[in-house]
Amino acid sequence: MLPFSRVAIIGLGLIGSSIARAVRAEMPTVRLTGHDASAEAREQVRALGLVDDCTDHAGAAVIDADLVILCVPVGAIGAVAAEIADDLPAGVIVSDVGSSKAGVATAFAEALPGVTVVPAHPVAGTERSGPDAGFATLFKGRWCILTPAADADPMAVERVGEFWRRLGAEIDTMDAQHHDLVLAVTSHLPHLIAYTIVGTASDLEAVTQSEVIKYSAGGFRDFTRIAASDPTMWRDVFLANKDAVLAMLQRFSEDLSALQRAIRWDKGDELFDLFTRTRAIRRSIVEQGQDDAREDFGRSHG
Protein backbone atom coordinates (compact mmCIF):
# COMPACT_ATOMS: atom_id res chain seq x y z
CA MET A 1 0.00 0.00 0.00
CA LEU A 2 1.19 3.50 -0.83
CA PRO A 3 2.13 5.59 2.22
CA PHE A 4 0.25 8.61 0.77
CA SER A 5 -2.11 9.13 -2.15
CA ARG A 6 -2.41 12.94 -2.37
CA VAL A 7 0.88 14.82 -2.02
CA ALA A 8 1.20 18.61 -2.06
CA ILE A 9 4.59 20.23 -2.66
CA ILE A 10 5.10 23.88 -1.74
CA GLY A 11 8.23 25.28 -3.43
CA LEU A 12 9.00 23.56 -6.73
CA GLY A 13 12.69 24.33 -7.17
CA LEU A 14 15.51 21.77 -7.28
CA ILE A 15 14.29 19.63 -4.38
CA GLY A 16 10.51 20.11 -4.77
CA SER A 17 10.60 19.39 -8.51
CA SER A 18 12.88 16.38 -7.94
CA ILE A 19 10.35 14.98 -5.44
CA ALA A 20 7.55 15.58 -7.99
CA ARG A 21 9.52 13.79 -10.73
CA ALA A 22 10.45 10.91 -8.41
CA VAL A 23 6.84 10.50 -7.22
CA ARG A 24 5.68 10.36 -10.85
CA ALA A 25 8.30 7.69 -11.57
CA GLU A 26 7.89 5.57 -8.44
CA MET A 27 4.25 6.12 -7.35
CA PRO A 28 2.45 7.14 -10.56
CA THR A 29 -1.06 6.88 -9.08
CA VAL A 30 -0.35 9.55 -6.46
CA ARG A 31 -2.19 12.81 -7.13
CA LEU A 32 0.31 15.64 -7.04
CA THR A 33 -0.50 19.27 -6.35
CA GLY A 34 1.94 22.11 -5.96
CA HIS A 35 2.50 25.81 -5.48
CA ASP A 36 5.47 28.14 -5.81
CA ALA A 37 5.57 31.80 -4.78
CA SER A 38 7.30 32.68 -8.05
CA ALA A 39 4.94 33.14 -11.02
CA GLU A 40 7.82 32.27 -13.36
CA ALA A 41 8.45 28.99 -11.50
CA ARG A 42 4.72 28.15 -11.65
CA GLU A 43 4.76 28.69 -15.40
CA GLN A 44 7.77 26.36 -15.74
CA VAL A 45 6.11 23.72 -13.54
CA ARG A 46 2.98 23.84 -15.70
CA ALA A 47 4.97 23.71 -18.94
CA LEU A 48 6.95 20.71 -17.65
CA GLY A 49 3.76 19.01 -16.36
CA LEU A 50 5.45 18.29 -13.03
CA VAL A 51 2.23 18.15 -10.98
CA ASP A 52 -1.45 17.50 -11.71
CA ASP A 53 -2.47 20.91 -10.41
CA CYS A 54 -0.12 23.85 -9.88
CA THR A 55 -2.11 26.42 -7.92
CA ASP A 56 -1.68 30.19 -7.62
CA HIS A 57 -2.22 30.03 -3.86
CA ALA A 58 -0.52 27.72 -1.36
CA GLY A 59 -3.79 26.95 0.49
CA ALA A 60 -5.44 25.59 -2.67
CA ALA A 61 -2.62 23.09 -3.14
CA VAL A 62 -2.90 21.56 0.34
CA ILE A 63 -6.67 21.51 0.83
CA ASP A 64 -7.09 17.83 -0.09
CA ALA A 65 -3.60 16.48 0.64
CA ASP A 66 -2.58 13.65 2.97
CA LEU A 67 1.08 14.72 2.84
CA VAL A 68 2.31 18.31 2.49
CA ILE A 69 6.04 18.88 1.93
CA LEU A 70 7.49 22.36 2.27
CA CYS A 71 10.46 22.65 -0.12
CA VAL A 72 11.22 26.34 0.42
CA PRO A 73 14.34 27.98 1.93
CA VAL A 74 14.49 27.34 5.70
CA GLY A 75 13.90 31.03 6.47
CA ALA A 76 10.51 30.83 4.70
CA ILE A 77 9.21 27.65 6.35
CA GLY A 78 7.48 29.41 9.29
CA ALA A 79 5.68 31.88 7.00
CA VAL A 80 4.56 29.16 4.58
CA ALA A 81 3.35 26.96 7.45
CA ALA A 82 1.29 29.90 8.79
CA GLU A 83 -0.04 30.61 5.28
CA ILE A 84 -1.44 27.07 4.83
CA ALA A 85 -2.53 26.49 8.45
CA ASP A 86 -6.25 27.19 7.88
CA ASP A 87 -6.42 25.06 4.72
CA LEU A 88 -4.83 21.88 6.07
CA PRO A 89 -7.30 18.96 6.13
CA ALA A 90 -7.75 16.80 9.23
CA GLY A 91 -5.27 13.92 9.46
CA VAL A 92 -2.68 15.50 7.14
CA ILE A 93 1.04 15.04 7.80
CA VAL A 94 3.24 18.08 7.18
CA SER A 95 6.93 17.68 6.37
CA ASP A 96 9.78 19.69 4.87
CA VAL A 97 13.22 19.19 3.33
CA GLY A 98 15.15 21.99 5.07
CA SER A 99 18.92 21.66 5.42
CA SER A 100 18.85 22.68 9.10
CA LYS A 101 16.29 21.30 11.53
CA ALA A 102 16.18 22.84 15.04
CA GLY A 103 14.88 26.23 13.86
CA VAL A 104 12.41 24.49 11.55
CA ALA A 105 10.98 22.51 14.50
CA THR A 106 10.36 25.76 16.39
CA ALA A 107 8.77 27.39 13.34
CA PHE A 108 6.42 24.41 12.87
CA ALA A 109 5.49 24.31 16.56
CA GLU A 110 4.55 28.01 16.47
CA ALA A 111 2.68 27.99 13.16
CA LEU A 112 1.00 24.57 13.30
CA PRO A 113 0.17 23.64 16.91
CA GLY A 114 -1.65 20.29 17.03
CA VAL A 115 -0.74 19.33 13.44
CA THR A 116 1.24 16.10 12.82
CA VAL A 117 4.68 17.22 11.65
CA VAL A 118 7.59 14.98 10.59
CA PRO A 119 10.56 17.10 9.44
CA ALA A 120 12.95 15.53 6.93
CA HIS A 121 16.23 16.33 5.21
CA PRO A 122 17.24 14.47 2.06
CA VAL A 123 21.04 14.69 2.04
CA ALA A 124 21.20 15.05 -1.72
CA GLY A 125 21.40 18.03 -4.01
CA THR A 126 23.39 20.00 -6.51
CA GLU A 127 24.49 23.61 -6.91
CA ARG A 128 21.57 24.28 -9.26
CA SER A 129 18.12 25.65 -8.42
CA GLY A 130 14.65 26.06 -9.90
CA PRO A 131 12.10 23.65 -11.47
CA ASP A 132 14.39 22.92 -14.45
CA ALA A 133 17.19 21.69 -12.22
CA GLY A 134 15.40 18.72 -10.64
CA PHE A 135 15.67 15.09 -11.64
CA ALA A 136 13.84 11.91 -10.61
CA THR A 137 16.87 9.92 -9.44
CA LEU A 138 18.29 12.60 -7.11
CA PHE A 139 17.44 10.68 -3.93
CA LYS A 140 18.43 7.18 -5.02
CA GLY A 141 20.97 5.66 -2.66
CA ARG A 142 21.10 8.88 -0.59
CA TRP A 143 20.28 9.35 3.07
CA CYS A 144 17.11 11.07 4.17
CA ILE A 145 17.30 12.11 7.82
CA LEU A 146 14.04 12.39 9.76
CA THR A 147 14.04 14.60 12.87
CA PRO A 148 10.66 13.96 14.55
CA ALA A 149 9.93 15.45 17.97
CA ALA A 150 10.34 13.01 20.88
CA ASP A 151 6.53 12.69 21.20
CA ALA A 152 5.84 12.31 17.44
CA ASP A 153 3.32 9.69 16.29
CA PRO A 154 5.45 6.62 15.31
CA MET A 155 2.98 5.68 12.53
CA ALA A 156 3.38 9.13 10.93
CA VAL A 157 7.18 8.84 11.14
CA GLU A 158 7.00 5.39 9.54
CA ARG A 159 4.78 6.64 6.68
CA VAL A 160 7.11 9.56 5.89
CA GLY A 161 10.07 7.15 6.04
CA GLU A 162 8.30 4.78 3.64
CA PHE A 163 7.58 7.69 1.27
CA TRP A 164 11.32 8.48 1.08
CA ARG A 165 12.27 4.80 0.78
CA ARG A 166 9.98 4.61 -2.27
CA LEU A 167 11.94 7.51 -3.80
CA GLY A 168 15.11 5.43 -3.32
CA ALA A 169 16.48 6.99 -0.13
CA GLU A 170 17.78 5.28 3.00
CA ILE A 171 16.31 6.54 6.26
CA ASP A 172 18.01 7.64 9.45
CA THR A 173 16.27 9.27 12.39
CA MET A 174 17.93 11.68 14.80
CA ASP A 175 17.33 14.56 17.14
CA ALA A 176 17.15 17.97 15.36
CA GLN A 177 20.02 19.45 17.41
CA HIS A 178 22.30 16.52 16.65
CA HIS A 179 21.37 16.72 12.96
CA ASP A 180 22.41 20.37 12.92
CA LEU A 181 25.78 19.60 14.52
CA VAL A 182 26.55 16.76 12.10
CA LEU A 183 25.47 18.71 9.01
CA ALA A 184 27.37 21.79 10.19
CA VAL A 185 30.62 19.91 9.63
CA THR A 186 29.67 17.68 6.67
CA SER A 187 27.74 20.23 4.59
CA HIS A 188 27.50 23.76 5.98
CA LEU A 189 31.19 24.35 6.78
CA PRO A 190 32.34 22.99 3.38
CA HIS A 191 29.98 25.45 1.67
CA LEU A 192 31.30 28.30 3.80
CA ILE A 193 34.86 27.36 2.91
CA ALA A 194 33.99 27.19 -0.80
CA TYR A 195 32.28 30.59 -0.70
CA THR A 196 35.34 32.02 1.07
CA ILE A 197 38.02 30.58 -1.18
CA VAL A 198 36.26 31.60 -4.39
CA GLY A 199 35.64 35.07 -2.93
CA THR A 200 39.30 35.35 -1.87
CA ALA A 201 40.54 34.35 -5.31
CA SER A 202 38.31 36.92 -6.98
CA ASP A 203 39.48 39.69 -4.60
CA LEU A 204 43.23 39.20 -5.16
CA GLU A 205 45.04 42.22 -6.56
CA ALA A 206 48.18 40.37 -7.71
CA VAL A 207 46.27 37.75 -9.70
CA THR A 208 43.74 38.77 -12.35
CA GLN A 209 40.20 37.40 -12.65
CA SER A 210 40.99 35.99 -16.08
CA GLU A 211 44.03 34.13 -14.68
CA VAL A 212 41.84 32.61 -11.95
CA ILE A 213 39.34 31.44 -14.57
CA LYS A 214 41.99 30.30 -17.06
CA TYR A 215 44.09 28.30 -14.61
CA SER A 216 41.31 26.91 -12.40
CA ALA A 217 42.48 23.32 -12.21
CA GLY A 218 40.60 20.44 -10.52
CA GLY A 219 40.72 21.59 -6.88
CA PHE A 220 39.56 25.18 -7.37
CA ARG A 221 37.02 24.08 -9.97
CA ASP A 222 35.35 21.78 -7.43
CA PHE A 223 35.13 24.69 -4.98
CA THR A 224 33.53 26.92 -7.64
CA ARG A 225 30.79 24.34 -8.19
CA ILE A 226 29.88 24.40 -4.50
CA ALA A 227 30.22 28.21 -4.37
CA ALA A 228 27.64 28.49 -7.18
CA SER A 229 24.94 27.15 -4.82
CA ASP A 230 21.77 29.16 -4.25
CA PRO A 231 22.45 32.39 -2.26
CA THR A 232 19.00 32.54 -0.60
CA MET A 233 19.10 28.91 0.48
CA TRP A 234 22.57 29.20 2.01
CA ARG A 235 22.01 32.59 3.65
CA ASP A 236 19.06 31.00 5.45
CA VAL A 237 21.00 27.86 6.42
CA PHE A 238 23.87 29.82 8.01
CA LEU A 239 21.49 32.09 9.93
CA ALA A 240 19.29 29.19 11.05
CA ASN A 241 22.21 26.98 12.14
CA LYS A 242 24.32 29.81 13.54
CA ASP A 243 25.44 28.13 16.80
CA ALA A 244 26.59 24.82 15.31
CA VAL A 245 28.28 26.52 12.33
CA LEU A 246 30.15 28.97 14.58
CA ALA A 247 31.28 26.10 16.85
CA MET A 248 32.59 24.12 13.85
CA LEU A 249 34.20 27.24 12.39
CA GLN A 250 36.06 27.79 15.66
CA ARG A 251 37.44 24.22 15.56
CA PHE A 252 38.29 24.62 11.90
CA SER A 253 40.15 27.92 12.50
CA GLU A 254 42.22 26.27 15.26
CA ASP A 255 43.10 23.34 13.00
CA LEU A 256 43.97 25.76 10.19
CA SER A 257 46.28 27.69 12.51
CA ALA A 258 48.02 24.41 13.45
CA LEU A 259 48.55 23.70 9.74
CA GLN A 260 49.87 27.23 9.22
CA ARG A 261 52.40 26.61 12.03
CA ALA A 262 53.41 23.24 10.57
CA ILE A 263 54.14 24.85 7.19
CA ARG A 264 55.99 27.81 8.72
CA TRP A 265 58.27 25.53 10.81
CA ASP A 266 58.80 22.91 8.07
CA LYS A 267 57.00 20.18 10.04
CA GLY A 268 56.70 17.86 7.05
CA ASP A 269 55.77 14.85 9.22
CA GLU A 270 52.73 16.67 10.62
CA LEU A 271 51.53 17.58 7.13
CA PHE A 272 52.14 14.05 5.86
CA ASP A 273 50.29 12.44 8.78
CA LEU A 274 47.24 14.68 8.34
CA PHE A 275 47.10 14.15 4.58
CA THR A 276 47.40 10.37 5.11
CA ARG A 277 44.46 10.43 7.54
CA THR A 278 42.29 12.53 5.21
CA ARG A 279 43.08 10.29 2.24
CA ALA A 280 41.82 7.31 4.27
CA ILE A 281 38.55 9.14 4.99
CA ARG A 282 38.04 9.87 1.29
CA ARG A 283 38.72 6.21 0.45
CA SER A 284 36.18 4.96 2.96
CA ILE A 285 33.54 7.38 1.59
CA VAL A 286 34.23 6.16 -1.95
CA GLU A 287 34.05 2.50 -0.84
CA GLN A 288 30.60 3.13 0.64
CA GLY A 289 29.20 4.72 -2.54
CA GLN A 290 30.54 3.27 -5.77
CA ASP A 291 28.23 5.40 -7.91
CA ASP A 292 29.55 8.60 -6.41
CA ALA A 293 33.07 7.46 -7.01
CA ARG A 294 32.34 6.93 -10.69
CA GLU A 295 30.55 10.28 -10.85
CA ASP A 296 33.51 12.05 -9.24
CA PHE A 297 35.94 10.22 -11.48
CA GLY A 298 33.89 11.27 -14.52
CA ARG A 299 33.75 14.86 -13.31
CA SER A 300 37.50 15.15 -12.77
CA HIS A 301 38.33 13.38 -16.02
CA GLY A 302 35.47 14.76 -18.11
Ligand X SMILES: O=C(O)C(=O)C[C@]1(C(=O)O)C=C[C@@H](O)C=C1
Ligand Y SMILES: NC(=O)c1ccc[n+]([C@@H]2O[C@H](COP(=O)([O-])OP(=O)(O)OC[C@H]3O[C@@H](n4cnc5c(N)ncnc54)[C@H](O)[C@@H]3O)[C@@H](O)[C@H]2O)c1
Q: Which of 106/126 has CB closer to ligand Y? A: 126
Q: How far is the CB of 167 from ligand Y (least distance, A)?
A: 13
Burial environment of residue 186 by CB neighbours within 10 A (0 to 12, 13 to 18, 19 or more): exposed
Q: Which of 87/96 has CB closer to ligand X? A: 96
Q: How far apart are CA 183 and CA 103, in angstroms?
A: 14
102-111 helix and 176-183 helix, angle to the nearest 10 degrees: 140
Ordered strands of the 6-10 beta sheet = 53-55, 31-35, 6-10, 67-70, 93-96, 116-117
Q: How far is the CB of 271 from ligand Y (least distance, A)?
A: 32
* Interacting residues with ligand X between 233 and 272 (CB under 6 A): none
Q: How far is the CB of 107 from ligand X (least distance, A)?
A: 17
Q: Which of 39/90 has CB closer to ligand Y? A: 39
Determine the size of the site formed for ligand X (CB under 6 A).
8
Check binding of 126 to ligand X (CB under 6 A). yes
Q: How far is the CB of 122 from ligand Y (least distance, A)?
A: 5
What are the residues binding ligand Y (CB under 6 A)? 10-16, 36-38, 41, 71-74, 76, 79-80, 97-99, 122, 125-126, 129-130, 230, 233, 237
Q: How far apart are CA 116 and CA 157, in angstroms?
A: 10
Whether 194 contacts 226, CB under 8 Å:
yes
Q: Which does 78 bind (CB under 5 to 8 A by kind): ligand Y, ligand X, none?
A: none
Q: How far apart are CA 29 and CA 24, in angstroms?
A: 8
Q: Which of 224/271 has CB closer to ligand Y? A: 224
Q: How far is the CB of 280 from ligand Y (least distance, A)?
A: 27
Q: How far apart are the first and last CA of the chain?
A: 42
Check binding of 187 to ligand X (CB under 6 A). yes
Q: Which of 4/139 has CB closer to ligand Y? A: 139
Element counts in the chain: helices (H) and strands (E): 14, 9
Q: How far is the CB of 126 from ligand X (least distance, A)?
A: 5
Whether 104 contacts 120, CB under 8 Å:
no
Buried-state track 217-245, b at ≥16 Cβ within 10 A, e below 16? eeebeebbebbebbeebbebbbebbeebb
Please give the distance of CA 234 from its chain centroid, rounded to a whole number: 10
Check binding of 125 to ligand X (CB under 6 A). yes
Q: Which of 60/224 has CB closer to ligand X? A: 224
Contact mark string toward ligand X, 75..104, x via CB under 6 A: ------------------------x-----
Q: For residue 203, give the H/E element and its range.
A: helix 189-203
Query: What sign results for the dihedral spanned by CA atoms 19, 171, 297, 208?
Result: positive
Q: Which of 48/238 has CB closer to ligand X? A: 238
Q: How far apart are CA 295 and CA 297, in angstroms?
A: 5
Of the candidate residues 76, 123, 157, 181, the single one contacting ligand X (CB under 6 A): 123
Q: Which does 187 bind (CB under 5 to 8 A by kind): ligand X, ligand Y, none?
A: ligand X
Q: How far is the CB of 83 from ligand Y (least distance, A)?
A: 7
Of the candidate residues 53, 127, 132, 158, the single one contacting ligand X (CB under 6 A): 127
What is the binding site for ligand X (CB under 6 A)?
99, 123-127, 187, 229
